[in-house]
Amino acid sequence: MPRFFFDISDGSDIVDDIGAVFPTLSDARSEAIRTLTEIASERLPANGPSMELSIDVLDQHRMLLLRVRLAFSSQPEI
């Protein structure tokens, strides 16, 4: 099974050097989505107006296979 690497952009710059093995890219995508929602539940700003979270899924040569992105914004009541 291929190994995928998941670089998470959420303001810190830790590069994934462990990776994880999944049967297909579609399974890796589901994993990226689950991770995104877990991180969102902790990291979305309580006070800030907006934030973007994204995860790049890379192969073992660090070639970009896909990117999942979540955009959050909070607007004052009109």
As to burial, measured by CB atoms within 10 angstroms (0-12 exposed, 13-18 middle, 19+ buried), residue 4 is: buried
Task: Name which of 6, 36, 2 is nearest 19 in CA terms.
Answer: 6
Q: Which helix (H) or strand (E) segment is 21 a member of?
A: strand 20-21
18 in contact with another protein (CB under 8 A): yes
For the window 38-77, what string marks contact with another protein as x by the rule CB under 8 A? xx--x------------x----------------------
CB of 77 to another protein, least distance (A): 29
CA count, 13 A, side-chain hemisphere, 38 = 8
CB of 76 to another protein, least distance (A): 28
Q: Write out the residues near another protein by the rule CB under 8 A.
A: 6, 8, 12, 14, 16-20, 31-32, 34-35, 38-39, 42, 55
